[in-house]
């Protein structure tokens, strides 16, 4: 009898394992904190579906999607036409949340710091290499800045966060646009490279005198100080969910196209380095895995949106979320 019970339990467990649907995705590190939360919560809704998401950077996610080694990709930067042509199927961009690229720094003696876009570009171009430079001092009256070299920390991998950050610098600085430009991978004039938002965060946290760009959730989780950036309205704004949400309003003036840049958007209270992040969905004959990705997106764009603010992302505007749900169907 004992053997029969053991066999019965074994058969049940085997059936449960066989019933598990494994869905593979890869890409952006920018939304990883919220995606990780979503996948965990979604498993409570559909325990038979297991999401395996590799946080390898937007460039890596696009490459894996093109190679057909994943069921979906994820990127903060819309796919370029040359990459779309390499894909076996058309690719649909589904925005999931909005986030902020914060500029973090490590100066123990400086509690608050303000910069405008031109000065920030000059730092990343290597034109301003010391924290006590007159241009930084002028923007921070009354702040005692250390006579210490600036160490720029940037991404070493193909990155959507880099694409957003360089999009902003290209928009704000002619010098940056002509010498470096915008993209997921760049020829950096100065600095040291670290892999992923995780890598840049760790380097800035551990090294005095550093400055680097990371998604806001990483900065807040690691208690890193962030720079207040000057927006179009002339205000110095710290990265926040509210500032990101206000930037999304500019989408109405751009025909509602979801792959349009919203950096340096106009308006009071707007944080200037804000962006959508996307799930890249292949448009092809529906597999079991692709069906589950669509089911997950339906959940993420409804119930999942209520979890965004606690992780320092902004939910999609309701009208946009409804439009995306219709397109997924």
Q: Are 211 and 229 in contact (CB under 8 A)?
A: no
Q: Which domain holds residue 158?
A: 100-274
249 lies in some domain: yes
Q: What is the pLDDT along the chain (329 residues), one digit of tens a residue?
A: 555 555 555 545 444 444 689 999 999 999 999 999 999 999 999 999 999 999 999 999 999 999 999 999 999 989 999 999 999 999 999 999 999 999 999 999 999 999 999 999 999 999 999 999 999 999 999 999 999 999 999 999 989 999 999 999 999 999 999 999 999 999 999 999 999 999 999 999 999 999 999 999 999 999 999 999 999 999 999 999 999 999 988 776 556 688 889 999 999 999 999 999 999 999 998 899 999 999 999 999 999 999 999 999 999 999 999 999 999 98
Residues 217 and 134 placed together within one structural domain of the fold: yes
Domain count, the chain: 2
21-52 burial, b if ≥16 CB within 10 A, otherwise e? eebbbbbbbbbbbbbebbbeebeeeeeebebe
Residues 288 and 267 placed together within one structural domain of the fold: no
pTM: 0.87
Domain's final residue, options 248, 274, 300: 274
Please list, in sequence order, all residues whose beta carbon lies within 8 angstroms of the beta carbon of residue 216, skipping any fewer than 6 positions away. 99, 100, 101, 102, 226, 239, 240, 244, 312, 313
Residues 222 and 258 placed together within one structural domain of the fold: yes
Residues 252 and 281 placed together within one structural domain of the fold: no
Residues 241 and 288 placed together within one structural domain of the fold: no
Q: DSSP class of residue 79?
A: P
Residues 66 and 109 placed together within one structural domain of the fold: no
191: domain CATH number is 3.40.190.10
Residues 36 and 141 placed together within one structural domain of the fold: no
Domain's final residue, options 274, 296, 319: 274
Residues 234 and 252 placed together within one structural domain of the fold: yes
Burial class (CB in 10 A: 0-12, 13-18, 19+), 90: exposed
9 lies in some domain: no
Residues 203 and 114 placed together within one structural domain of the fold: yes
The alpha carbon torsion through 143, 144, 149, 152 (nearest 10 deg) reads -20
10 lies in some domain: no
Residues 204 and 251 placed together within one structural domain of the fold: yes
Residues 91 and 237 placed together within one structural domain of the fold: no
207 lies in some domain: yes
Residues 92 and 134 placed together within one structural domain of the fold: no
* Sheet strands (E) in the chain: 21-27, 49-55, 72-75, 91-105, 114-115, 151-155, 192-194, 210-215, 225-226, 228-230, 236-237, 274-282
């Amino acid at each position: 009898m004992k053997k029969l019970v053991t066999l019965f339990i074994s058969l049940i467990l085997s059936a449960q394992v066989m019933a598990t649907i494994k869905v593979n995705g890869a890409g952006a590190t920018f939304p990883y904190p919220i995606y990780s939360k979503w996948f965990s919560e979604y498993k409570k809704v559909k325990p038979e579906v297991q999401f395996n998401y590799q946080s390898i950077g937007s460039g890596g996610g696009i490459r894996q999607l093109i190679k057909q080694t994943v069921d979906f990709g994820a990127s903060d930067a819309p796919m370029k036409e040359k990459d779309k042509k390499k894909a076996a199927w058309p690719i649909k961009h589904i925005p999931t949340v909005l986030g902020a690229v914060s500029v973090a720094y490590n100066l123990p003696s400086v509690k608050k710091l303000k910069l405008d876009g031109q000065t920030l570009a000059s730092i990343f171009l290597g034109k301003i290499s010391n924290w006590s430079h007159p241009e930084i001092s002028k923007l921070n009256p009354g702040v005692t800045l250390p006579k210490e070299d600036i160490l720029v920390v940037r991404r070493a991998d193909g990155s959507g966060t880099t694409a957003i950050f360089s999009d902003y610098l290209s928009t704000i600085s002619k010098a940056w646009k002509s010498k470096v430009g915008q993209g997921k991978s760049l020829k950096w004039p100065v600095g040291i490279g670290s892999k992923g938002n995780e890598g840049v965060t760790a380097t800035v946290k551990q090294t005095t005198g550093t400055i680097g760009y990371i998604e806001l959730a990483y900065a807040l989780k690691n208690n890193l100080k962030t720079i207040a950036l000057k927006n179009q309205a002339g205000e110095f704004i710290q990265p926040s969910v509210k500032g990101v949400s206000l930037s999304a309003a500019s989408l109405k003036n751009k025909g509602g196209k979801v792959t349009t840049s919203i950096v340096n958007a106009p308006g009071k209270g707007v944080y200037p380095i804000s962006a959508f992040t996307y799930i890249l969905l292949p448009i092809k004959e529906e597999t079991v895995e692709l069906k589950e990705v669509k089911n997950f997106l339906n959940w993420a764009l409804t119930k999942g949106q209520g979890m965004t603010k606690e992780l320092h992302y902004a939910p999609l505007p309701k009208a946009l979320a409804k439009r995306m749900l219709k397109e997924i169907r």
